[in-house]
Structure 1
Amino acid sequence: MTDKRFQEIINHYKADIKMYPDNWISHCAQQNSIEEAIFVAATAKNQEGKKNPHQYRLKPIILEKFAVHLSDHASKLKQATSFDDLLKKITTYKIKGIGTLALYDTAERIGAYLGIFPDKIYFACRCKSRR
């Protein structure tokens, strides 16, 4: 992919996100404290109480346990200096039942509260061969 084409994709994404902001991210960014932002982010709820489609298969009890566990480490998460740092910290506090997408989405939401955003493309694949 050429640099020009890559830049076109970035510009399209930025324009699209301005027109159609992510309700879960903006809701998290508007919280009054890091603890509130963590809870909203980890439970994947927007201002209407709707769960993000990315986490629809995860049981609410798992998301709430994740939120409580992350809240126990709020001061460390608040010290993140980059999105990559925040994602690594959140991954460190992962609990059983929370996968890669939930970790990334939670980091993106908490990052919005902290004013920290991804500056590179993240890719994760769990490929299982089927015979």
Structure 2
Amino acid sequence: MDRQFHPGDVVSIRFGGVLRHYGVVTSGGRVISNSRKHEGVTEQSLADFADGRPIKLHTGASDAHHLEVEARARRALGASYRLAGSNCGDFVGHVHKRKPTVTQVGRAAVMALGDLIGNSRRR
């Protein structure tokens, strides 16, 4: 944990072999992330976020000011986790105001279509 991170930095740890869990560093040197393990958006120390694994810094997340990024992340504290549509990658994209990826747009369209079909069958 000797690396110095800055507020707004996007960091990640590896889990499950090839997967990564993403979070955003705060001005207090903590990390806010959306985690299935914690059932939603939570804030924790860098050491707890890392859980003994190396932390990777992701550069070029956005041009957003670090205080804006942290404020958006803090507003999300307590929000629920959903693998499709509200996971750690979606969270980091949201707080950095990145445009949705093609995959995210496609997933949202499929979920909306499923909702429409499901609602029409219930009537």
User: Normalization by structure 1: what TM-score?
Assistant: 0.29
Q: Which has the higher helix share?
A: 1
